[in-house]
Amino acid sequence: MQPHSSKLLTTINPATGETLASVPMTPTEKIFDIVTATNRAWRKWRSLGLEHRAQILNRAKHLLFQQSHSFAELISTEMGKPYIESLAMEVEATIDLFGYYTGKGRKLLSDRPLSLNNIFFKRRTCYIHHQPLGTLAIISPWNWPLLIPMGTIIPALLAGNAVVFKHSEHTPLIAQRIETLLWQAGVPKDVYQTVYGQGEEGEALVSSDVAKIFFTGSTDVGQKVMQQAAKSLKKAVLELGGNDPALICADADIENSSSGILWGAFNNCGQNCNSVERVYVNKAIADRFIERLLYKTKLLRLGEGTNHNTDLGPLAFQQQLNKISTIVEQAKAQGHQLLCGGAPVASMKGNFYQPTIFLRDASAMHPPDQEIFGPVLFITPVDDDEHALKLANTSNFGLSASVWTENIKQGRRLAYDLACGNVMINDCIVSFGMAEISWTGVKQSGIGWVHGEKGLDEMVTIQYITIDKQSRIQKFWWFPYTEKMVQAMRAGMDFLFAASWRKKIKALPSVLTHFTAYFVKNSKRADKL
């Protein structure tokens, strides 16, 4: 039997089946040593100061820009998505994340004064301080192999934490490139480390002495991560699955909305946690909408991601192809009307699957409430917006949704009633690439935040510090408790909070008497000291 250290991850081009490379897996026993080392190193990284860390991350941003073509090529080769998606939605969006956090992070992480409302505390100074957590475990999936991990790695390092990163076993080459990029920029090697492996290695990382876990992936695995983390009361941020709806209102622009849904359903071959998977279209425009959507779907060009004219690349690996085939066959068996697609592309090498659209009656049996994660879309004609809203909210997931309408006021009203963390009106998906927008899920779609200011808050302990500069004055609420103390507090509460002005005025002499005596007593004490 071979020793654990000799195990390899083999990465394959999903468009051709060609083996790209083999990467040694990290022995599970070594993971604990890695975390121990980063726990020793992070305090020195924190002591560099925010400005110095921002400068290092800015260097990483410029290096990524210089290497943007090779990064995009690698993503398209190893994961399969079209080159333009790799370049625009992975590389460019990550460069923007660097710029956002290094630009805004100084302000967001600086100490902030806090005004105190209670009159008894008005003479105090209070401020919010952001304290790094230590070593963070970041576990990311294969479908967005650059943007998703960097959305947590960048703010984690900026805030002064160390990072141990485990990428998916399907995209180890991209993990290597991220590591090299950060080390070249000046992030110390013992502050940023990579673990290579599968589920066993991920479990070892979660069990190690990390301060917090950031996991992006399926809901099933996320639940296991949470259960495992709970054994040692580790905090965790979980960005999980979705079964995202789109509401097409009667006044929606058919040409624009059909193009948007086409892209939302089939970009990255549907392998997005926030892909459009369910469409609820008003019956008044359903026939015309479906006609335009089918026409545009049939024009999509399938091919290798590195071909710049490819619209739809392959599924990322064989298991994904098998999963989508099963979902489609189940939908056929349930009687949903197949409008196009519905099978693998037999004439092409690799894991290619036809873009697939089903028509589903609102009263028909629903397919399983699961994240499809492939090029499959269900369309349901509905009576009105309320009907669409009701069906959209039936899912156990609540990640994102979209509303398509010319009436922005109505679009906002529908957005407010959608049970999800993110809603786009007249667009979809792309808000995940907006660095300022914080992402979260409701129901089974996640816990905690990524991106934006709230995503940065997840990287720190938010510490409240209050200062009483009158260090020689004893507080009137300290021991010993007396009857005079009770009388003073009652009078003070009447003066501050009574609804009647008469009661306030009546309490004023008692307030002045008691609190004047208190200040005189403390002044004499301070003089003696």
Q: Give Cβ neighbours of residue 487 (< 8 Å, ≥ 6 apart).
A: 510, 514
Average pLDDT, the chain: 95
Q: Give Cβ neighbours of residue 236 (< 8 Å, ≥ 6 apart).
A: 212, 213, 214, 215, 225, 226, 229, 447, 448
pLDDT digits (tens, 9 = 90+) for 163-195: 999 999 999 999 999 999 999 999 999 999 999
Residue 460: which H helix or E strand, with range? strand 460-467
Classify residue 261 by its DSSP letter. H
Instruction: Grade residue 397 by pLDDT with cuts at 50, 70 and 90.
Output: very high
CA-closest candidate to residue 76, choices 88, 62, 94: 88
Instruction: Kindly state the average pLDDT of the residues 49-78.
Output: 98
Instruction: Kindly state the average pLDDT of the residues 142-149.
Output: 98
Inter-residue contact 106 to 51 (CB < 8 Å): yes
Residue 42: which H helix or E strand, with range? helix 28-47
Inter-residue contact 78 to 13 (CB < 8 Å): yes
Residue 247: which H helix or E strand, with range? strand 244-248
Residue 2 has pLDDT above 60, yes or no: no
Instruction: Kindly state the average pLDDT of the residues 134-163.
Output: 98
pLDDT digits (tens, 9 = 90+) for 198-256: 999 999 999 999 999 999 999 999 999 999 999 999 999 999 999 999 999 999 999 99
DSSP letters for 112-165: EE----SGGGTTSEEEEEEEE-SEEEEE--SSSTTHHHHHHHHHHHHTT-EEEE
HSE-CB at 260 with a 13 A cutoff on CA atoms is: 23
Instruction: Grade residue 365 by pLDDT with cuts at 50, 70 and 90.
Output: low
Burial class of residue 71, CB neighbours in 10 A (0-12, 13-18, 19+):
buried
Residue 167: which H helix or E strand, with range? none
Classify residue 25 by its DSSP letter. P
Backbone angles phi, psi at 6, to 5 degrees: -95, 0
Helix, coil or strand: residue 245? strand
DSSP letters for 409-457: HHHHHHHHHS-SSEEEES--SGGGG-TT--B--EETTEES-BSHHHHHH
Residue 412 has pLDDT above 80, yes or no: yes
| pLDDT for res 3 | 37
| pLDDT for res 492 | 92
Inter-residue contact 151 to 97 (CB < 8 Å): yes
Neighbours of 121 (CB within 10 A): 12
Residues 82, 64: Cα–Cα separation, whole Å:
19
Residue 1 has pLDDT above 50, yes or no: no
- The CA angle 95-448-28, to the nearest 5 degrees, is 80
Q: Give Cβ neighbours of residue 301 (< 8 Å, ≥ 6 apart).
A: 309, 310, 311, 312
Residues 374, 225: Cα–Cα separation, whole Å:
24
| pLDDT for res 116 | 92
Inter-residue contact 25 to 7 (CB < 8 Å): yes
Instruction: Kindly state the average pLDDT of the residues 17-22.
Output: 97
Instruction: Grade residue 281 by pLDDT with cuts at 50, 70 and 90.
Output: very high
Give the rounded percent of residues in the chain with a pLDDT score beyond 70.
97
Instruction: Kindly state the average pLDDT of the residues 347-358.
Output: 97
What is the pTM assigned to this prediction? 0.95
Residue 137 Cα to chain centre, angstroms? 15
Residue 374 has pLDDT above 60, yes or no: yes
Helix, coil or strand: residue 380? strand
Sign of CA pseudo-dihedral 27, 30, 35, 41 = negative
pLDDT digits (tens, 9 = 90+) for 473-490: 888 889 999 999 999 999
Pairing relation of β-strands 235-239 and 244-248? unpaired
| pLDDT for res 440 | 96
Residues 71, 89: Cα–Cα separation, whole Å:
12
DSSP letters for 499-524: S-HHHHHHHHHHHHHHHHHHHHHHHH
Q: Give Cβ neighbours of residue 457 (< 8 Å, ≥ 6 apart).
A: 130, 449
Inter-residue contact 488 to 476 (CB < 8 Å): yes
Residues 403, 424: Cα–Cα separation, whole Å:
6
HSE-CB at 328 with a 13 A cutoff on CA atoms is: 23
Residue 529 has pLDDT above 80, yes or no: no
Instruction: Kindly state the average pLDDT of the residues 111-139.
Output: 94
The residue written with tokens 């002499």 in the block is 509
